[in-house]
Structure 1
Amino acid sequence: MLSKHLFYLTSDQLCAYLWQGGRLTGGACFANDRAGIDDFMDYVDSHRASPVYILADLIEEDFQRVTVPHVRGRAGRTLLQRRLLQQYRETPFRHHEVQGRESTGRRDDQVLLSALTNPASVQPWVEALEQLQRPLAGLYTTTLLSEELVYKLKLRDQHLLLVTQQSAGWRQSYFQQGMLKFSRLTPALDRDGQPVNIGMETAKTQQFLTSQRLLGRGNVLQTVVVTPAAATATLDQQCEDGAETEFHFLTLESVAERTGLKTGDGRAGEMSRHLAEPMLLAFLARRTPESHYTLGPWQRYFKLWRARVNLYAISAIMATCCAVWTGTNLWQEHEANNDSTRLTAEAAQFDRRYRDTMAEMPPRVTTTANMRAAVNVERMLATQAATPLGMATVVSQALEASPQIRLLQLDWKVMAPAANAPAPGQDETQAQPISSLVAGIPQRAPQGLALEAEVLTAEDDYRGAVDRMNEFALALAKHPRMTVEIDKPPVDVRSSVKLAGKAGTQVVSNGHAKFTLNLVWKP
């Protein structure tokens, strides 16, 4: 966890604390003079360059409540900055906070303006940090941080006055529904050196709030006093409830328990005397909000420090990613090497088993390449050799669709040319070699089928016989690779044939008309 330097600034001095590991340590104080600032610079120079947070508790802190037109975006921010500059021209430490909108009229924004009206109480310390090039994260005030204390303590009263004892005196902060409206700091001792009467100071604050119309007459002001348990009895005598005032006391121990503040850090003695220092410093260290008051160029070293930290973080993330990626690659390489070793061992085992098997076999009649070629030829013959089964299947399907056709004879053959023509001087009576297309090498050969059938029809029904034959031929021709040619029809009606006969001669005898078809199938 990164450490943080926390500086508690009052009008008289500055106290330095260190926040590390969730605990607050230190407490060295430096007077607000030349010697004190020199000692402060020596102190800062002796510590590492951690982010610096200044928490101011000054009496010269002014609050003004104004209404501005409700404008959004850049124009609204510019309007607020101009209004803030008009209100506080003499100080660079200015702050604004939009707290809601009016319920009537134009519904203007309700804005709380605040500023440290005496910049001389802050500038020497800021310039010292600038000279030492320390990262100044922000400038905060106990008044604005008290909103966090009210939220932690769950104080939800509509009109609340929070009274806390701090090193600079008693801080009285007025809240409406949890939003800060006004704050004043009174000394802890009066002019005679006697402790101030908290009840009387509360009455003065209530009278001022009424005159400013922040608190209407008849409204009850709930006053919460945070004090050590030992001082509760004394303050109880000073604070008497009235018609418009009710007092409530909270001990430092209960507040520390409810806010989760660690007290085992060696600061219990100081905590029993002051509340704001350990309590609000712990809030500041844990939350680290944006700076309450503008710092301008005094914050440049913090921006550089934050950029450097971000670069370190990005570098660490990239290094982690690279380490993970490298580790993954190494693991994958290890797995690949194991797989390669395993596969090499399996291959050697298979080679050994192959050699043992081959050693037990009888002597080979030919080489392995020839045996492999023979197997390939056998597979090719089994898949591509010409067979009548394909054409017979087509004829069978056509016969199923034509019950009046009866098959008489089939003559199937492979339509393949001779492998080679007879050489000059060779005996032509010698048988010629058969083409390899018959075996389907390198591709299937065309096949022919001479089909002889007859038509079962009535005697002398020439037209019926011819129609049945044509229907049967068309059924065969539907096959995409089948060609059908009528070789001999039941009645030869071609123009090239002489028509002859005698009356009464039966061309279709006994209802049987024969015809012949030539089928060619090209795979």
Structure 2
Amino acid sequence: MAEPALLFITSDRLVAYRWRRGQVAREGAFAADEPGRRAFAAYAAGVARRGRTAWLLADLVEEDFRFDTVPHVLGPGRSALLERKLEQLYRSTPFRHAEIREREQEGRRDDRVLFSALTNPHWIAPWVELLTQYKIPLRGIYSVPLVSRRIAKLVPDNELLLITWERDAGVRQTYFKNGHVSFSRLSPLAVGLPMAAGLSLAGDPPSVGDAQLTPTVLKEAARTIQYLQSLSLLPAGRPLPVVIVCSARDKQALGEQLQNTARVRYAYLDIGELAARLQYRGPLPDSDCTALLLHVLAKGRLPNQYATAQHRHYHALGKTRRFARAAVLVAGFGLLLEAGLDLWRAVHLSRQAEALSAQLQRLDHQYRALHATLPQTPPSAAEMRRAVLSLRTLSQASPMPLEVLGSLGQTLAQFPGLQVNHLTWQITSRPDRVQDDLLPAAASPGPQATGRGPTLYRVVQLQGEVRPFHLNDRETLKQVEALQAELIRRGMSVEPIELPLDLRPQVALRGELGVPDAPRRATFALKIVQTAGP
């Protein structure tokens, strides 16, 4: 990943640094004039070519802090409420920020909010426009008082005045209460490299020395303490800790001039020890805290403070691009994993198929060996198998006439005068066309593979005669009709084919006088139908 470009902005210059492996190195300084901006444009072009991300840290006099309360709301309503309040307070600048500090314990329990803004956008806007022109991703715009909270948290006191010196800006005094910024002011003391044609070469400028730093701290600290006392911000009953970040040499010079009083207690943070606690690995030759603040900004990945969504447009695009790339990589890895699993399954199934094939070959070999030991029979094994299957199908599918013949036998037993001479039975789906559509029982179809087959009927053709026959046609016909009635009562359909005396109108009765009658038999034939099922 490309090294981030850390841009430190003051009221008269922009100083560029690079951050790598816990060290900050100066790359160049650019004056806030036309030549300086042209030089910075060339620098920005190089940053864009390398795909570096910019972080902008401002240390300006024109930074305002205000406390106010707003109703306690959640979700999108809170953001809209804070934005409206910022618009009311700082209408003339887009560089504004709101932080919710705490919630009041009484009344409506409103939120107590710190509103801040860089009130003079002309110091920042030209630099940001050049970053946007070259499509450099801007991570955010930050200010020294808000970033220095990380240093203030290393001090055990809840209320303190933190004093730092930034070479290109001046002496910064920030009052913290419960770890939050309550007040901050900047006293210019810039002694950086002179601007030559708007650009100073990279390198470490000479130390400012205690000749200018010590008097400035003495004078400005006294003013700040007097101002805090006028606002009744000093802690009651104990002195205010004034913590100064400086080198060992400046600590000795300041210690000789600053004396503790009932209202003020001075303490010193050695900049070398502070760098070790913040894991900064670069050299710190004097009391300049610029490198430490930029290190805290880059290493801590602090959330944006003053940049708008328009300023961070290319950074958002970069995040979206990285997310898309990550999604593609994850999807590709998933596809590769799935392909690997499919390959493993294919190999596993192939091995199983080979094992089954070998087993099948062994079984086939055993079958052939066993078959060779069997005695030879006239029909082949395949023919015997087909015969067995056919017999099984016939036994399962052919409806037997036991039911209809049993019922017919019970009925005939009631008529001893009726003798059965001939009886046939058949299976058919069209009992009205017995002669044309007979399905012999032995060749009837088996169960249907799909669907439901036609309704089948058992058709019995019964032929017999009445014995003894005493030439009493009426009595003979009466017995046959009684047989029909009994069969119908048992659920069968009976159709007379032949009767002992045919009384149908279309049949003529013949006889000759004087010719003796030939011997007659009282024969009859019936067609009996019963449903055999589908």
TM-score > 0.5, shorter chain as reference: yes
Classify the secondary structure of the residue corresponding to 2:347.
helix
Does the aligned pair in 2 maintain the 1:252–1:272 contact within 8 Å? no
In 2, Cα distance between equivalents of 1:184 and 1:206: 12
Does the aligned pair in 2 maintain the 1:95–1:115 contact within 8 Å? yes
1:160 aligns with 2:160: yes
Does the aligned pair in 1 maintain the 2:245–2:287 contact within 8 Å? no
1:195 aligns with 2:208: no
Q: Which amino acid aligns with 2:269?
A: L
Classify the secondary structure of the residue corresponding to 2:51.
coil
Deviation at 1:252, TM superposition (A): 1.9
Deviation at 1:141, TM superposition (A): 0.8
Q: Deviations over 1:398-435 (max 9, x none)?
A: xxxxxxxxxxxxxxxx99979xxx9989xxxxxxxxxx
Give structure 1 regions of 4+ aligned residues with deviation exceeding 6 angstroms: 373-380, 414-418, 422-425
Instruction: Note the 1:294-313 alignment, pairs <5 A.
Output: 294-313=307-326
Q: Structure 2 vs 1, CA of residues 222 and 363 (structure 1 numbering), >3 Å: closer, same or farther?
A: same
1:368 aligns with 2:385: no
Classify the secondary structure of the residue corresponding to 1:272.
coil
In 2, Cα distance between equivalents of 1:355 and 1:147: 92
Q: Which amino acid aligns with 2:184?
A: S
In 1, Cα distance between equivalents of 2:369 and 2:108: 102
Deviation at 1:208, TM superposition (A): 0.8
Query: Under a length normalisation based on structure 2, what TM-score does the superposition of the two structures give?
Result: 0.64
Instruction: Note the 1:120-131 alignment, pairs <5 A.
Output: 120-131=122-133
In 2, Cα distance between equivalents of 1:189 and 1:278: 15
1:325 aligns with 2:344: no
State the match for 2:44 in structure 1: 44
Q: Structure 2 vs 1, CA of residues 200 and 257 (structure 1 numbering), >3 Å: closer, same or farther?
A: same
Instruction: Note the 1:46-125 alignment, pairs <5 A.
Output: 46-47=46-47, 48-125=50-127
1:234 aligns with 2:259: no
Q: Structure 2 vs 1, CA of residues 348 and 170 (structure 1 numbering), >3 Å: closer, same or farther?
A: same
Query: Under a length normalisation based on structure 1, what TM-score does the superposition of the two structures give?
Result: 0.65
Classify the secondary structure of the residue corresponding to 1:194.
helix
1:134 aligns with 2:153: no
1:208 aligns with 2:227: yes
Classify the secondary structure of the residue corresponding to 2:233.
coil
Structure 1 unaligned runs (5+)? Answer: 381-413, 426-435, 443-523
State the match for 1:171 in structure 2: 172
2:348 maps to which of 330, 335, 352: 335
In 1, Cα distance between equivalents of 2:274 and 2:179: 17
Does the aligned pair in 2 maintain the 1:199–1:240 contact within 8 Å? no
In 2, Cα distance between equivalents of 1:342 and 1:68: 77
Deviation at 1:96, TM superposition (A): 1.8
Q: Deviations over 1:47-96 (max 9, x none)?
A: 32333211111222122223344455555444433332332232221112
Classify the secondary structure of the residue corresponding to 2:148.
helix
1:278 aligns with 2:278: no
Q: Which amino acid aligns with 1:282?
A: H
In 2, Cα distance between equivalents of 1:336 and 1:119: 71
In 2, Cα distance between equivalents of 1:25 and 1:355: 88
Q: Which amino acid aligns with 1:18?
A: R
Does the aligned pair in 1 maintain the 2:214–2:254 contact within 8 Å? no
Q: Which amino acid aligns with 1:46?
A: G
Classify the secondary structure of the residue corresponding to 2:310.
helix
In 1, Cα distance between equivalents of 2:326 and 2:302: 21
State the match for 1:14 in structure 2: 14
Q: Deviations over 1:196-240 (max 9, x none)?
A: 433443232111111112225534211222222333222221232
Does the aligned pair in 2 maintain the 1:210–1:216 contact within 8 Å? no
In 2, Cα distance between equivalents of 1:217 and 1:55: 35
Structure 2 unaligned runs (5+)? Answer: 192-209, 394-401, 407-419, 424-440, 448-534
Instruction: Note the 1:363-512 alignment, pairs <5 A.
Output: 363-364=376-377, 366-369=379-382
Classify the secondary structure of the residue corresponding to 1:138.
strand
1:144 aligns with 2:146: yes
Classify the secondary structure of the residue corresponding to 1:46.
helix
1:243 aligns with 2:262: yes
Does the aligned pair in 1 maintain the 2:271–2:287 contact within 8 Å? no
Q: Structure 2 vs 1, CA of residues 70 and 346 (structure 1 numbering), >3 Å: closer, same or farther?
A: closer
State the match for 1:347 in structure 2: 360
Q: Which amino acid aligns with 1:13?
A: R
In 2, Cα distance between equivalents of 1:25 and 1:319: 39
Q: Deviations over 1:81-125 (max 9, x none)?
A: 333233223222111222123445554432222111221111111
The alignment's C-alpha RMSD in Å is 3.7
State the match for 1:402 in structure 2: none
Deviation at 1:245, TM superposition (A): 1.6
Q: Structure 2 vs 1, CA of residues 353 and 172 (structure 1 numbering), >3 Å: closer, same or farther?
A: same
In 2, Cα distance between equivalents of 1:274 and 1:93: 29
Q: Structure 2 vs 1, CA of residues 357 and 230 (structure 1 numbering), >3 Å: closer, same or farther?
A: farther
Does the aligned pair in 1 maintain the 2:243–2:268 contact within 8 Å? yes
Classify the secondary structure of the residue corresponding to 1:195.
helix
In 1, Cα distance between equivalents of 2:21 and 2:356: 56
Q: Count residues in correspondence.
A: 389
Does the aligned pair in 1 maintain the 2:11–2:32 contact within 8 Å? yes
In 2, Cα distance between equivalents of 1:30 and 1:209: 36
Does the aligned pair in 2 maintain the 1:3–1:21 contact within 8 Å? no
2:239 maps to which of 202, 208, 220: 220
In 1, Cα distance between equivalents of 2:211 and 2:163: 21
Higher relative contact order (CA 8 A, sep 6+): 2
1:292 aligns with 2:305: yes
State the match for 1:494 in structure 2: none
